[in-house]
């Protein structure tokens, strides 16, 4: 895709969006049904493409965490679209009666979507579903780090959609940079906070409104009264899905002082139950690239050199046990074993950056008050997890901290709830999608007041003198 193609497709979509401002619900529904058909007929091919990009990533994970989420969102959107798209009547104050008023939910025009590599289907198509449902044209730029998935998406979308409806733009960071400079009516970006800042700056040139779905360090608080074994299993599950390469993965654990040993043993047992071996295990996703692996190893080395203790959850990487793994080549070397890290400090890279891998620092605390203060002194996280039974403590944490979302007594699941918006706050982003609130992100809510034939407001016209004297 060269610069000219990018602009040609944008112009095509822009002209189409201006020529047909009102996109009937029937047309939007038909587009969503086409997307559904595309996934139904090609799910397997998409799973294979993701597997090729990661080297090791079970098709079951992709089916569950990419395709199922997107399919559920499609179903939910199709079910509620009629109601979401309708004009919304509002009550009229006495002074303006008998006039009438409503809010018109209009398509914005052309929406751009930039997506990351970690859930390359879900994070590409979920925003597209909502943008199409809202009656927009969509251009999608998926990540260059998942080239097989991006190429497969581009091929399928071109087969099922006209370029002026929905189009995939493949390419490297250079293309992504040009893409973020187009004069979109809205731009949704999912990725790192650092790149999010650049995207927001590029969009500001055209006053393009943005939704930024960014990352961050999501804390996982374990209260004093927990069943540590049960909690450790849930934390291990949430942390190790996609080998920790999940924007809402618990980034670090806050544990009552004195429970370190119990937690370490319970976490190790949980990891070994979920993943009896690491190397060659098809369920355990590889780190996306050698560069990303090197970054994680470097973080561990730095933490150790500054006095942290690293506990590997598997003694030694077991040799690959089935024939399949040989076909994965060097991807098996990118299967990084999970590790707990104790004794971390704020000067360590591990506690300064989002980890985005299977490494879990554990920080001990004395009082929940200290936990709340520490979270409030850090950049606002995308997710926050709290495990416990005391509702007063739960509510103190909920009301006195700010995060994109919260999941109580489990991990990750708030993202799968159809009626909850999903988004960050502060450094973890702005704006949210998913649910009706996400739909509102991609429409213009136009205020309409319709005056009646007889209007009391005409009594307020000048000349004022005598009329107001009599009032
Ligand atoms: P990234 O920021 O490196 O890249 C994301 C996308 O931005 C890619 O498609 C890339 O091509 C594009 N890009 C790169 N430079 C650009 C530029 N200058 N201008 C415009 N686009 C540019 O992120 P990543 O490594 O792909 O993903 C990991 C990050 O994404 C983590 O921080 C993670 O927490 C975050 N993330 C957030 C969510 C969420 O929903 N909030 C979901 C998944 C991942």
Per-residue pLDDT tens digits of the chain, which is 471 residues long: 556 689 999 999 999 999 999 999 999 999 999 999 999 999 999 999 999 999 999 999 999 999 999 999 999 999 999 999 999 999 999 999 999 999 999 999 999 999 999 999 999 999 999 999 999 999 999 999 999 999 999 999 999 999 999 999 999 999 999 999 999 999 999 999 999 999 999 999 999 999 999 999 999 999 999 999 999 999 999 999 999 999 999 999 999 999 999 999 999 999 999 999 999 999 999 999 999 999 999 999 999 999 999 999 987 544 444 444 555 678 999 999 999 999 999 999 999 999 999 999 999 999 999 999 999 999 999 999 999 999 999 999 999 999 999 999 999 999 999 999 999 999 999 999 999 999 999 999 999 999 999 887 887 888 887 766 666
Q: How many CA atoms lie within 13 A of 62 on its CB side?
A: 25
Tell me which residues have their CB closer than 6 angstroms to ligand 1: 114-118, 123, 141, 143-144, 173, 176-177, 180, 190-192, 195, 198-199, 213-215, 247, 354, 356, 382, 424, 429
Secondary structure of 186-231 as H, E, C letters: EEEEECCHHHHHHHHHHHHCCCCCEEEECCCCCEEEECCCCCHHHH
CA of 44 to the centre of ligand 1 (A): 25
Atom of ligand 1 nearest to the CA of 117: 26
Ligand 1 mutation target, pool 53, 116, 180, most atoms within 8 A of CB: 116
Q: Whose CA is nearest to atom 8 of ligand 1?
A: 143
CA of 34 to the centre of ligand 1 (A): 27
CB 308 within 8 A of CB 344: yes
- Model's pTM, two decimal places? 0.95
CA of 456 to the centre of ligand 1 (A): 55
Q: Which residues are catalytic?
A: 213
CA of 416 to the centre of ligand 1 (A): 21
For residue 77 the two structure tokens come to 């959107």
């Amino acid at each position: 895709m060269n610069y000219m193609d990018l602009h040609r497709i944008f112009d095509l979509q822009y002209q189409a969006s201006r020529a047909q401002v009102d996109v009937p619900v029937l047309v939007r529904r038909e587009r969503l049904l086409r997307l559904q058909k595309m996934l139904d007929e090609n799910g397997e091919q998409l799973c294979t493409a993701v597997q090729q990009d990661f080297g090791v990533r079970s098709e079951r994970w992709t089916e569950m965490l990419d395709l199922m989420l997107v399919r559920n969102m499609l179903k939910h959107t199709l079910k509620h679209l009629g109601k979401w798209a309708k004009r919304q009547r509002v009550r009229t104050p006495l002074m303006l009666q008998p006039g009438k008023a409503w809010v018109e939910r209009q398509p914005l025009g052309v929406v751009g979507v930039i997506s990351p590599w970690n859930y390359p289907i879900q994070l590409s198509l979920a925003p597209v579903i909502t943008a199409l449902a809202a009656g927009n044209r969509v251009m999608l730029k998926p990540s260059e780090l998942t080239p097989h998935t991006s190429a497969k998406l581009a091929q399928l979308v071109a087969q099922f959609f006209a370029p002026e409806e929905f189009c995939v733009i493949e390419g490297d960071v250079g293309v992504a940079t040009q893409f973020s400079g187009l004069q979109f009516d809205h731009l949704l970006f999912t990725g790192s906070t650092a790149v999010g800042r650049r995207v927001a700056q590029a969009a500001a040139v055209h006053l393009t409104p943005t939704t930024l779905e960014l990352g961050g360090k999501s804390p996982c608080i374990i209260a004093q009264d927990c069943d540590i074994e049960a909690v450790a299993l849930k934390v291990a599950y949430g942390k190790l899905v996609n080998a920790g390469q999940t924007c809402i993965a618990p980034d670090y654990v806050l544990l009552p002082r004195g429970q370190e040993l119990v937690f370490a043993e319970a976490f190790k047992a949980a990891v070994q139950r979920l993943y009896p071996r690491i190397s060659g295990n098809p369920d355990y996703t590889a780190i996306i690239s050698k560069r990303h692996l090197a970054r994680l190893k470097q973080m561990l080395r730095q933490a150790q050199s500054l006095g942290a203790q690293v506990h590997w959850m598997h003694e030694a990487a077991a040799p690959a046990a089935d024939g399949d793994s040989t076909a994965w080549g060097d991807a098996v070397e990118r299967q990084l074993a999970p590790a707990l890290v104790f004794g971390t400090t704020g000067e360590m890279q591990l506690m300064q950056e989002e980890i985005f891998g299977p490494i879990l620092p554990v920080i001990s605390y004395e009082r929940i008050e200290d936990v709340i203060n520490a979270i409030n002194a850090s950049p606002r996280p995308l997710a926050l997890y709290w495990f416990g039974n005391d509702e007063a403590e739960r509510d103190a944490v909920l009301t006195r901290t700010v995060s994109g979302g919260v999941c109580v007594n489990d991990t990750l699941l708030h993202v799968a709830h159809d009626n909850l918006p999903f988004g960050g706050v502060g450094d973890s982003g702005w704006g949210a999608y998913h649910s009706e609130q996400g739909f509102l992100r991609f429409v213009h809510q136009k205020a309409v007041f319709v005056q009646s034939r007889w209007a009391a407001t005409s009594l307020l016209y000048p000349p004022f003198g005598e009329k107001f004297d009599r009032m």
